[in-house]
Structure 1
Amino acid sequence: MSIAKFAARSFLATATIAAVGIAVPQAQAAPTPAVKLSDRADADTRAFAAAHPGAVRAALVVCGANYVLENAERLPSSDNRLATLFTYRIPGNIPNDEPTCAILDNNTASTKWMKLKLCSNWIADGCAEDVGNFTSYAGPVYRARGGCGKVYAIMKNSAGSGSALVDAIRNATNCD
């Protein structure tokens, strides 16, 4: 794992711990950019961002400061949050031509096998994925023209597990 990815994972884990009210040493805290919501963000994403600003900012740090929050979804359901799927985009003039980033945040207290796959709406661009055992999150995965594409999120107790805790296919951005 690269040092940058390790630092980002550590920051997201620290922000998640802080968001649930556990004291975090000041030396570990890092300045975070303000989160901007996409003009296309739905009511559920806006409510999640208001209720969990630390987690939203932490995921933004991982994606990059130029991104805006497009979607934040609790998975497998709003009542049973084992993971949160975040998608961010860099606003542009053509929705299906926007750079897109996705993060699958592990909201359990243990390591899980996770797969996050982001596919461009442009078939020739293909998909990007991150797969492995993660304590904090899978990703970030990027597509230069990911707007209007699909994002696939899977979480299991282990790679060989027959049943998934999370198995979701979503639109990467709100195009319609």
Structure 2
Amino acid sequence: MKNASRLGCCCAALLALVTFASTASAAEPSDDGPRIEVVDVAGVQVARQASAGTRPIIASAPAVAVAAAGVCGAGYTISTGAARYGRYGTAYTWTNGRTTGGRYYDKPICAVFFNDTGAAHSMGVRLKDNYTATPDVEDFGTYSSYAGPVYQNKGYCGRAYSYMKVGNAVVVDNYLAVGTCN
């Protein structure tokens, strides 16, 4: 049932592409802290400080990126990172640009790891924020569409971990930095 609802959510997000692209020219105004500077990549807002690999991934499949944002829910419209792991999967991190604390990196983050194989595999996503006292949040299981979404309230400057096992072989075992921080 989880995969069926996930596919419905992805389809709804894809249908929202036109609306999203027309409103994605600037970051939402934030009256509760510093804003994330964004650039437009194929109609998708991408944090200027996102990893160098993020922009080409978003540009190559903007509809998929919008679907990933849709999985995270309303307001998560700024990509903070994306990583493609061969033919196996693509991880995305998103924020709504608001702050949940007084510092620039105290922004809510959502992470999703998409299964690009078309078949169910053991996989998962884990999100760690920039604070050692906060427990990681994760979603691991056997999925044909994606693992997640998982959220951290102060996740900017954190890390998203993606994992996938195909048969007996671990094919994805990687971290994605959320934003560029010191």
Asked if the contact 1:8–1:61 (Cα under 8 Å) also holds between the matched residues in 2, the reply is no
Aligned to 1:58, what secondary structure does the other structure show?
Answer: helix
Q: What is residue 34 of structure 2 aligned with on the other side?
A: none
Query: Which of 15, 19, 22 is the equivalent residue of 1:30?
Result: 15
User: Aligned partners of 2:63, 2:159: CA distance in 1, in Å?
Assistant: 26
The answer as to whether partners of 2:14 and 2:66 remain within 8 angstroms in 1 is no
Q: CA deviation at 1:6?
A: 4.6
- Alignment partner of 1:152 is 2:161: yes
**SS at structure 1 position matched to 2:63:** helix
Work out whether 1:115 is the aligned partner of 2:124.
Answer: yes
Counterpart contact for 1:114–1:133, Cα < 8 Å: yes
> In the alignment, is the contact (CA less than 8 A) between 1:11 and 1:30 conserved in 2?
no
Deviation at 1:120, TM superposition (A): 1.5
Per the alignment, residue 70 of structure 1 pairs with 80
**Count of equivalent residues:** 154
Please, what is the CA RMSD of the aligned residues? 2.3
From 86, 90, 96, the equivalent of 1:84 is 90
Residue 143 of structure 1 corresponds to: 152
What percent identity do the matched residue pairs reach?
Answer: 33
Taking structure 1 as the reference length, the TM-score comes to 0.77
TM-score normalised to the size of structure 2? 0.74
Q: CA deviation at 1:91?
A: 2.0
1: distance between equivalents of 2:177 and 2:52? 16
Q: Post-superposition shift, 1:47?
A: 1.6
Deviation at residue 92 of structure 1 after TM alignment: 4.3
User: Deviation above 6 Å: which 4+ runs of structure 1?
Assistant: none
| CA positional deviation for 1:109 | 1.9
Q: Which residue number in structure 1 is paired with residue 179 of structure 2?
A: 173
Which residue of structure 2 lines up, in the alignment, with residue 21 of structure 1? none
Work out which of the residue numbers 66, 88, 104 in structure 2 matches 1:57.
66
Structure 1: distance between partners of 2:9 and 2:98: 28
Instruction: Mark the CA change 1:139 to 1:111 in structure 2 (over 3 Å): closer, same or farther.
Output: same
> Are the aligned partners of 2:14 and 2:63 in contact in 1 as well (CA < 8 Å)?
no
Which structure carries more helix by proportion? 1
Distance 1:127 1:38 in 2: 23
Mark the runs of 5 or more structure 2 residues left unpaired by the alignment: 22-43
In the TM superposition, residue 89 of structure 1 has moved relative to its aligned partner by 1.7
Deviates more, 1:52-61 or 1:87-96: 87-96
